[in-house]
Structure 1
């Protein structure tokens, strides 16, 4: 076939398509004219309850299961009836780009767009469904009203008793030597400030005592010197030797005894500088110790910290300063305290945030590392729109409720939820108006019905006519369409068209 023959063949095909389209538009068939004149506004159709894709124009039985076909209710029938009966009533106004942003009067959306009216006989997307009263009763449909109320919550969680960090102390050796006597030799032992811990022998301590006695004798001899500078020097030397003993944790009482007796002791006693319990003991009698070695760790548990685990969804309810009640695992009266700190990071393993509660523990009832129950009385949220939490269908990406419109009609609507309170109520931030009724049971069946009606409605929509073959190319030649001058590939594209 030559190029000219291909050109005329394409031209004939295009002309036949145009003539056919014009004849269909201008000359309807007699059957179509009679049907248009005689048929009602909307023809009845029938479907199978078990196989909704089976749709027929007349009653009968399902060819698959043999059940009697039931009339198919048109989704848009209610809207058409309302339009024919008179003026339609606006139910609310909704943002075009955010279906959860609704208002009871016209205005602007957060994006600056005009709100769109939604009428009582329709819903966005045409997804209103109608269920007869008998079916509603069989499904167990119950509703509840969206009202403004106060939401409160008591956060119940688990806490771990810990030490008060500022009251943990480490006792180190500041001089090398040997432990001759260990006065505190048990972990968990209660000690008081000033109680003897151990007796240490150290050659440096012995030399320091002798230096102190020499400085004391030197001061006694030179204090009556006619030269004030010499007396002051002797005084400074005595004070320096005394501070040296103090820096090694030798008590003033031992230094005073040394001054009175003038006798150098082989071993000196180290005393506890804090109250608490021994949580770590690294010293043993007869052990050689070096400067800087940790000997004991002492913790004061007259005050303790409770670390309460707060889950992420409960964080909006917990604030610093709130009252908390701590219940002991073996019963008894709860101990009351306040939240002192909410840590600014999340525990990776438990996915919780630690809330710290400070408690007095004078009788040592709370033991470190003990598990307790913590109840935090969260602050009440005043005057918020709330509905029962069972009315919300949460898919992870959106939250949906079914709004009861009356006369057996239900509208699926997206909402944005907030805090979850006690007694099964959840805050609605956007998507509902006060006084509207939502379905609290059987909404999953309503959701299935809504999606089924929407799918059937899309199946029944008339298809849009395909655009004419020559649309958008008016005034162009076939050479322009197939690009004869673009590398000489026009013949190849004609071949691809008829291949």
Structure 2
């Protein structure tokens, strides 16, 4: 055989051996048994290898294997590896149990098949049946799992304690303006626009900024009446600084028409009636609408400007019907948006609307958000996270500890030394990663939080094996 052919054969043998798990032993993932030197006493002598040869390894312990007998390049035979010398995943260390402490009840199939034997035997592949001891075959409903298997599969346990359950409700939302922070400039009189100020649509204005200069025959007429009344009052009164109050009628009419207070004060102070007057912004905000142009005529009630304060906005969230019971006014809320990735806006639940939207089966929730830098714009989408909870610690376990079959819930209680007891529990409220336990376990118990399905499967297997090993009950004939 050429060197190239030998290398190809060696590579093929390594692939086959890797499939059998041997490659893992050479790479430190598993510990392969080593041949120990003979000892002088029977107590330290290793057990006699048994079983048929399952593969062959290089005589120099190099990582070369073969599924059939073969020779090295220098003509030496590969060493056969018997079944008892291969890796055993289920066997416990011999030092853990002294001879005579446990009594073997029966032997089970090493591949997990429902086949048992009262005496030692091998399966069709030459693998020894695994002994089941009486201490493992407990009648108290618990299940015994080897410590080695627990370590390899990463089974984790945790003590049961008291937790404050916080449940986060997530929902989509849309930014809307605060209804209480919107104002319109709509005169209560007919008139004309003399000139429009610098404010335009989408520009930011402050309270008192000039918006528009108007002329109104009705306003000017009542202002003239106010001037006449003030002049007549002053002439007839002995105290010209105070007057006798007969000018109240015209002033009240101007106030009812919505004439600017500075215009009314100017007439009172000077006795002169200007032809036009200035209308100013009623609040700080952004101009949403600008319907006024120079020279335009308008009727009473026409909207010349619409202004909204964006410093506080509403986030209208649609919460699923099943989450309504957890919502309360004042709960903290966090909002994220696509427009500002990584930024979190904080607010509180202001109101839960008292009706459902039948099309989506959701409830509308109003959330107030501070928006001093105007980052949140109307009609912007956001993701809402509402933190709910009572704030009172309760007995709770991680949700991963609960095995929920739909009809009942079970947790696995760790009783020590690899023994676990399935225990039915009554689950209450659920929070972020925890579930309240109303009955079944108590504070201080240790339960499995990771790998519980492995133990559950082991329990089902042992129950099946136990059923196969029990003698059949004789049938009762009538």
TM more than 0.5: yes
Q: Report if the CA contact (8 A) 1:75-1:453 is conserved.
A: no
Q: Deviations over 1:181-227 (max 9, x none)?
A: 221541233333333322334xxx314533653676488679999xx
Q: Pick from 269, 272, 281 the counterpart of residue 272 of structure 1.
A: 281
Deviation of the 1:412 alpha carbon: 1.6
Q: Pick from 394, 413, 428 the counterpart of residue 403 of structure 1.
A: 413
Q: Pick from 358, 363, 367 the counterpart of residue 356 of structure 1.
A: 367
Deviation of the 1:356 alpha carbon: 3.3
Indicate how the Cα distance of structure 1 residues 435 and 250 shifts in structure 2: closer, same or farther if over 3 A, else same: closer
Indicate how the Cα distance of structure 1 residues 414 and 295 shifts in structure 2: closer, same or farther if over 3 A, else same: farther
Helix, strand or coil for the counterpart of 2:180? helix
Q: Pick from 154, 175, 178 the counterpart of residue 189 of structure 2.
A: 175
Helix, strand or coil for the counterpart of 1:294? coil
The answer for the alignment partner of 1:6 in structure 2 is none
Q: Deviations over 1:330-349 (max 9, x none)?
A: 889x99x8746353568987
TM-score (norm 1): 0.54
| Whole-angstrom CA distance in 1 between matches of 2:419 and 2:278 | 90
Q: Report if the CA contact (8 A) 1:309-1:355 is conserved.
A: no
The answer for the alignment partner of 1:482 in structure 2 is none
Select the structure that is richer in helix.
1
Find out whether 1:52 has 2:66 as its counterpart.
Answer: no
| Whole-angstrom CA distance in 2 between matches of 1:49 and 1:133 | 17
Indicate how the Cα distance of structure 1 residues 368 and 397 shifts in structure 2: closer, same or farther if over 3 A, else same: farther
RMSD, aligned CA = 5.3
Indicate how the Cα distance of structure 1 residues 218 and 366 shifts in structure 2: closer, same or farther if over 3 A, else same: closer
Deviation of the 1:457 alpha carbon: 5.0
Q: Report if the CA contact (8 A) 2:395-2:443 is conserved.
A: yes
Indicate how the Cα distance of structure 1 residues 386 and 353 shifts in structure 2: closer, same or farther if over 3 A, else same: farther
Q: How does 1:303-382 map to 2 (within 5 A)?
A: 303=312, 329=340, 339=348, 341=350, 343=352, 354=365, 356-357=367-368, 359=370, 361=372, 364=373, 367-369=376-378, 381=391
| Whole-angstrom CA distance in 2 between matches of 1:326 and 1:451 | 46
Indicate how the Cα distance of structure 1 residues 50 and 351 shifts in structure 2: closer, same or farther if over 3 A, else same: farther
Q: Deviations over 1:342-395 (max 9, x none)?
A: 53568987978747356484xx46554578999999889565434444433345
Q: Report if the CA contact (8 A) 2:195-2:214 is conserved.
A: yes
The answer for the alignment partner of 1:474 in structure 2 is none
Find out whether 1:131 has 2:131 as its counterpart.
Answer: no
Deviation of the 1:425 alpha carbon: 5.7
Indicate how the Cα distance of structure 1 residues 264 and 186 shifts in structure 2: closer, same or farther if over 3 A, else same: closer
Deviation of the 1:61 alpha carbon: 5.1
Find out whether 1:435 has 2:447 as its counterpart.
Answer: no
Q: Deviations over 1:310-333 (max 9, x none)?
A: 89999999865577789995889x
Q: How does 1:1-150 map to 2 (within 5 A)?
A: 47-50=108-111, 52-54=113-115, 60=121, 68-70=128-130, 77-79=137-139, 122-123=140-141, 128-146=142-160, 148-149=161-162
Find out whether 1:385 has 2:395 as its counterpart.
Answer: yes
Find out whether 1:244 has 2:280 as its counterpart.
Answer: no
Number of residue equivalences: 362
